[in-house]
Chain A
Amino acid sequence: MSSSSSGNVGIVIVSHSSKIAEGAADMVRQMVGNAVPLAWTGGDTDGGLGTNVAGILEAIEAAWSTAGVAILVDLGGAETNSEMAVEMLAEDRRARVVVCNAPVVEGAVIAATESSGGSSLAAVKRSAEEFYA
């Protein structure tokens, strides 16, 4: 998990595998350096494959930006847990976090690249989702 502060949209990567989440984050950093707040989480609470709401909430906190946070997920449980985490946020933050319907690695790189140019949360989400649409 890592982060940096800026006014750009934050990116959160959620995978069932912590290695995939961390690796995807490495690829994002290679593209955009520290221009966007970035955090990742992967694995269940016992360290096995899976996702967990507490980890996702921490990642959202770590990547928080006033411009909002875009979450990239892999399989079903990652999406369901991410949506649950978003609902558990304070009301003023909830509307500024979106789960993107995009492949996790490619989506994260594209979303971060878009974010690094200062784009809005809606534009970041759209870029990630359009790439493979």
Chain B
Amino acid sequence: MSLDRAAREKLVRALAASMIEHAEELTSLDQAIGDGDHGLNMKRGFEAVLATLPGLADKSLPEMLKSIGMTLVMKVGGASGPLVGTFFMELGKGLPELPARTDLVAAAEKAIDAVKMRGRSEAGQKTLLDVLVPVQAVFAGGGDARAIAAEAAQAADRTTPMLATRGRASFLGERSIGHMDPGSRSTSLLISAAVAALEFEATS
């Protein structure tokens, strides 16, 4: 998979647009079971990422991803900054300059492990891992952009009936049930934006 400069810039803009366009929705999800700042935080982070264009897209894909991660860590605030930022940074660290899809699968696996360590969490606790883990299974299994985006959306939906045992929503105990996890929703949106921009095709 080779991504030229235009494709890298398209990817960055697609990720940022998804967070900026859905900021209010994410904030309202977070008002239900969190501290109500998730949409604003993600928007702030990705606006800061956009501000590093055009230089950002001049970097190689691994360096670009590391840079996005670092910007998110520094600018997002809240726990999602280090969590989402760690994902991007580790993804970048794990990739060769011109990655094949198998490289991307392997790097994503490592990046998800790093998110688990950072959050001391596993799937099943109503966090972004409940999207990352099942989506990774579809990705590793050869799914195309459409299948990956569909799984991301469904996985975010599946957090609605879950009981939160990690993150701010866990303070609410059973009252966290019945609301979609905001971090899962933003992660799902980012994944959908990324795979649409990258136009993944199915592999067998």
Residues of A participating in the B interface, judged by any CB pair closer than 8 Å: 16, 44-46, 48-54, 75-77, 80-81, 83-84
Contact = CB atoms under 8 A, between A and B. Distances in A.
Contacts, number: 57
Given A44-B41, A77-B80, 13 more contacts: A16-B35, A45-B74, A46-B44, A51-B77, A51-B78, A75-B168, A76-B79, A77-B79, A77-B168, A80-B118, A83-B82, A84-B85, A84-B118
Contacts of A46: 44
B109 interface: no
Contact residues of A: prevailing secondary structure: loop
A62 to B, nearest CB: 18
A47 to B, nearest CB: 11
Most A Cβ at <10 Å: residue of B35, B75, B79, B167 = B79
24 contacts: A44-B41, A44-B44, A44-B77, A46-B44, A49-B35, A50-B37, A50-B41, A50-B77, A51-B77, A52-B75, A53-B73, A53-B82, A54-B74, A75-B168, A76-B79, A76-B167, A77-B78, A77-B79, A77-B80, A77-B168, A80-B79, A83-B118, A84-B81, A84-B118
Given A80-B83, A80-B118, A84-B118, A44 B78 contact: yes
